[in-house]
Amino acid sequence: MQHPHVAFQSGQKTAELEGLSHRPLKVAWTESGHGAPIILLHGIPTWSYLYHDVIPLLASHAHVIAPDFLGHGYSDKRDFFDRSLLAQTAMILRFMDHLGVDRAHIVGHDTGGGVALIMGIHHPERVDKLVLTNVVAYDSWPIDDMIALGNPSWRSKPPKEVCDFLASGLPDGLFNADRLTPAFIAGIVAPYNDEEGKISMIRNASALNSNHTTMLVDRHGEIQAKTLCLWGVHDPWQTIRDGERLAREIPNAQLVRVENASHWIPHDTPEKFASEIAKFIAPA
C-alpha cells in the first residue's frame, strides 16, 4: 500500500526558477481547484504535505497552490543557497511570476507566516487577503529544537537520527492525539531521510533569524490587506499572545481562536482550519 505522502509527492509539479541563486533552483508545488488563487505557506520542519487534508477542502472555494520552500520538502535541497525568510519571500514572488499570478490570498503558518508578514509589508500589491496562523513573529523564535538542529555537529549524524529528532518534536505541536499517526510522522520527515535532505534541514535550521521578524514589528500597522489571525490556542511555541498582539497591531485584522488545536493547526483541525479560511476569503 502506498504511503499517503508518496501519493502526495507524486502529484507535485516542479519548475526551475532563475535569479534566486547563481544556478536555477527547483521548486515543487501542488495545486488544485479553480477560482481566486490562494497560496499556502508551510514552516519548518514541514513541507506542503502539512496541508494534505486542507487542500481538498479549500479546492472547492479557490485555486489552491501549496509550494515547498527552498530546502524543504521536494524543492531544491542542494547545499549552496540561502534559506532565510527573505530568501523564501524572494522565491515566492518569483514563483508567482512563473505561474502568472499577480495577486493571491496568502496563508502563512510558522516560518511561512514570517514570509507572509514580509509580503504584506513589502509587497502589498501581491497580497489580496492575508491569513496568519500560528506564525513566527517578534522574537519568540527559533524554538530550542531548531536552534539545536542548526549546530554543525549534526552533519556527522546519520539521516535517521535527524529524522528521529524531528519526529520527537511533532507531538508537542498537536492537541489531538489521534492526529499523531505514523503516516503523518513518516510524511513530514520523509524528504530529510537521506544525506542531502539531512544537510538541507540542518541548513534550514541554521538560517532561522529573528531579526527578520523583529525588523517588521513597528511596521505591522502598514499592512493594508484584510487579515485573519487564525490561532490554535494550545500552541506552546507561537502562543496565542502573539496572535492577540498581531490582531491589535494590524489595522484591518481579526482574531479567531481555535480551541482544541495546537501549533500544527492545519493537521490538528483541518476542517475548522479550512472552513474559517473559506469564509474569510469568500467575496463580500
Q: Where are the domains of the chain?
A: 4-281
pLDDT at residue 1 greater than cutoff 80: no
Task: Give the pLDDT confidence score for residue 3 in this predicted structure.
Answer: 87
pLDDT at residue 126 greater than cutoff 80: yes
Letter for the amino acid at 265?
Answer: I
Average pLDDT score over residue span 124-147: 96
> Which triple of cell numbers denotes residue 217?
514589528
Question: Model pTM greater than 0.85?
Answer: yes
Alpha helices, H only, the chain: 4-10, 55-58, 85-99, 111-122, 144-149, 159-169, 182-189, 195-206, 211-214, 240-249, 265-268, 270-281
pLDDT classification of 283: cutoffs 50, 70, 90: confident
34: left (phi over 0), alpha (psi -120 to 50) or beta: beta
Spacing of C-alpha 81 from chain mean position? 19
Task: Give the pLDDT confidence score for residue 216 in this predicted structure.
Answer: 98
Interatomic CA distance for residues 23 and 81, integer angstroms: 9
Are 199 and 155 in contact by the 8 Å Cβ rule? The answer is: yes
**Per-residue DSSP letter, 136:** -
**Per-residue DSSP letter, 226:** -
Interatomic CA distance for residues 155 and 274, integer angstroms: 38
pLDDT at residue 2 greater than cutoff 80: no
Place of cell 519568540: 140
The pLDDT tens digits of the residues spanning 56-90 come to 999 999 999 999 999 999 999 999 999 999 999 99
Class of domain 4-281: alpha beta
Q: How far is CA 12 from CA 47, 113, 197, in A?
A: 12, 22, 18
